[in-house]
Structure 1
Amino acid sequence: MTFSFQSRTRLLIGEAAAGRLAQARVIVFGVGGVGSWCVEGLVRSGVRHVTIVDQDRVCASNVNRQLMATAMTIGQVKVDALKEHLLEISPEAEIDARHEAFNADTAATFDIGSYDYVIDAIDSLQDKMLLIRTACDARVRLYSSMGAARKLDPTRIRVAEFWKVTGCPLARSLRQGFKRSGRLPSRKFKCVYSDELLDNSGTPDEPRANGSMVHITAVFGFTLAGLVIQDIVSRTADAEP
């Protein structure tokens, strides 16, 4: 047995599943409060082929909840700062950092069908709808984050199939948008969500901002990573004689 930072992972899930983790190709759209922690969980668990997509730079308001956001990285491109951190964990990882948005103009450049897993942590409603449709049509395994803002209770975070998510305004808006367009997702997919919704108590520092905290966004992100890991482990077990 090779003793490395992966030794405890291999001890739990076995060599075969660990090998499949190393081979999996995952793309994560949005590496903010949810997506950054998802990527952290994937790379620390042995996923080596990860593409991270985000158009933003680190700002001061990110520091309370985003993995790569510190006083030292403010102003840096988010995907670049996150890539540097991830390679400190796993120097052998292949991290493709794409500093751009996923939208109608760029969607065709991502070759979604070449990935095993797609993680949706996008905020924009229209771009989120497009990504969901694209991933479902490509028949890759998709896991999507619903809204993680205005929440404090981590015990209310759940996983459900998209059409069964309850109490989440973002999920409601997505379903309404899909129905109005007449183009529903072609497959079912799982979401991480919470039915908790609190009012903001303070004054926002930018338009339409909502309060959010790391103990919620990180649980969302780690849960998304866990869905990928569980799926790989389960498929490995099913493939064994």
Structure 2
Amino acid sequence: MSESFERRFGALDRLYGAGSTAGFSAAHVMIAGIGGVGSWCAEAVARHGVGKITLIDLDHIAESNINRQLPALGSTIGKAKAVAMAERIADINPQAQVEIVDDFVSAENIVSLLQMQPDVFIDCTDQISAKLAMVVEAKRHKVPLIVCGAAGGKRDVLALRSTDLSQTSHDALLARLRNQLRKQYGFPKPKPEKGSRVPKMGVTCLWVEESAVMPELWRQGEATEAPQGLSCAGYGSAVTLTASMGLAAAQLAINRILSSAQKA
């Protein structure tokens, strides 16, 4: 590692222990969804000196992204989100290898993505089909996965939680994911006996223990169209929440890399 790398990231060794930066430099983190959550996650991963970062997103920066997405600026409107984030990462750590996948995660491409062998895969998407594909195939290929729940409509940063998927609440997106995994893919279900413990599903999630705040028109029953799914496009959103979830996801990934290094 160069002297410049040591100057930029040496503080991490003093925090996590000698040799930590070398472990981060050798790691590969894959992030799906470079939006309000994923862009901040990618930033934190880059500032830990992770050596290889794969960014997956097909979307482009829009003016409506500026309130919460890291690379969204007046000067970057129209640019591919993954490209804008890759340029920023290169400025943070010129030694990092950044791979851009100009696509959305789907059942059709998930296996090829996992063949890139990430040490940690972070799901920052808001599409149920993408989340299903990632959970099922990551489990099959034994790739550590961190799943982020809904950030739209949430505002209490201090209600952010990290648990197994079986223990999440106040999150319609994760509830749908949990139900479909149990019905379609045989993930463990709660036992019918009263008082029995809910079995864990082996899926690490970040979620907010707070009911989603509906837009005013919906609270008044005046809206003519449904909110756009569970994304931030339908609900209100704020950077304090989306960034916090992204940073928390990055920390879970860093913890996983450190744990793997200690076992090696």
Given the two structures, how large is their TM-score scaled by the length of structure 1? Answer: 0.91
In structure 2, give the amino acid aligned to 1:197: S
In structure 2, give the amino acid aligned to 1:188: G
Asked whether the 8 Å contact 1:24–1:47 carries over to 2, the reply is: yes
Asked whether the 8 Å contact 1:112–1:134 carries over to 2, the reply is: no
How do 1:89-128 residues align onto structure 2 when only pairs under 5 Å count?
Answer: 89-112=92-115, 114-128=117-131
Structure 2 segments unaligned to the other structure (5+ residues)? 189-199, 218-222, 229-233
Structure 2 residue aligned with 1:30: 33
Structure 1 residue aligned with 2:249: 224
Query: For residues 130-186 of structure 1, what are the alpha-carbon distances to aligned partners after superposition, in whole Å with 9 as ceiling and x for unaligned?
Result: 111111111011111011111111100010011111222111111112233244399
Q: Which 10-residue stretch deviates more, 110-119 or 5-14?
A: 110-119
**How far is 1:48 from its partner?**
1.5
Distance 1:179 1:229 in 2: 29
Distance 1:179 1:231 in 2: 26
Query: For residues 18-71 of structure 1, what are the alpha-carbon distances to aligned partners after superposition, in whole Å with 9 as ceiling and x for unaligned?
Result: 211111111111111111111100110111200000010001111111111111
Structure 2 residue aligned with 1:155: 158
Which has more radius of gyration?
2
Q: Which 10-residue stretch deviates more, 35-44 or 4-13?
A: 4-13
Asked whether the 8 Å contact 1:113–1:138 carries over to 2, the reply is: no
Structure 2 residue aligned with 1:146: 149
**How far is 1:113 from its partner?**
6.3
SS at match of 1:144: strand
Query: For residues 178-225 of structure 1, what are the alpha-carbon distances to aligned partners after superposition, in whole Å with 9 as ceiling and x for unaligned?
Result: 233244399612111012123234469995111111000111000010
Q: 1:16 aligns with which of 19, 23, 35?
A: 19
Structure 1 segments unaligned to the other structure (5+ residues)? none
In structure 2, give the amino acid aligned to 1:221: G
Q: 2:238 aligns with which of 202, 213, 223?
A: 213
Q: 1:55 aligns with which of 55, 58, 70?
A: 58
Runs of 4+ with >6 A deviation: none
Query: For residues 65-84 of structure 1, what are the alpha-carbon distances to aligned partners after superposition, in whole Å with 9 as ceiling and x for unaligned?
Result: 11111111111111011101
Asked whether 1:66 is paired with 2:69, we answer: yes
Residues 37 and 221 from structure 1, CA distance in 2 versus in 1: closer, same or farther, beyond 3 angstroms? same
Distance 1:9 1:221 in 2: 19
Structure 2 residue aligned with 1:195: 209
Distance 1:104 1:237 in 2: 33
Residues 182 and 138 from structure 1, CA distance in 2 versus in 1: closer, same or farther, beyond 3 angstroms? closer
Distance 1:56 1:84 in 2: 16
In structure 2, give the amino acid aligned to 1:189: V
Q: 1:136 aligns with which of 129, 139, 147?
A: 139
SS at match of 1:6: helix
Asked whether the 8 Å contact 2:170–2:212 carries over to 1, the reply is: no
Residues 237 and 114 from structure 1, CA distance in 2 versus in 1: closer, same or farther, beyond 3 angstroms? closer
